[in-house]
Amino acid sequence: MTTWRQALTEAMKEAGDSSCVVALAPSEEAFAVDFNDDYGLPKGPSVLAWTERRVYFPVVYDGREWLASAPRDPERRGQDHVGRW
């Protein structure tokens, strides 16, 4: 079991993003919903989170769910692939 709040903390750490969270959609409550992020059908609510540096969004592969991110502003180096390999 997890929440998107927990996943956001992990995703920010993985991205090296120590900036402030500036917005959550659709609401802070959606980030507090407990759900099973293990394999099967997606169960987490639809969310987006913005920090000063990045935008975080849900990703699912084979039923496993987590948050990935992309830069808020253009970066010359481009965007890494999203997913697990």
pLDDT of residue 85: 61
> Percent of the chain, pLDDT > 70?
98
What does the alpha-carbon distance between residue 57 and residue 45 come to, in Å, rounded to a whole number? 11
SS3 state at 29: helix
Indicate whether this model's pTM tops 0.85. yes
For residue 68, what are the β-bridge partners? Answer: 57
Residue appearing with tokens 């987006």 = 48
SS3 state at 36: coil
Residue 35 reports pLDDT greater than 90: yes
Closest CA to 64 of 85, 34, 43, 33: 43
Average pLDDT, the chain: 92
What average pLDDT does the segment 10-31 reach?
A: 97
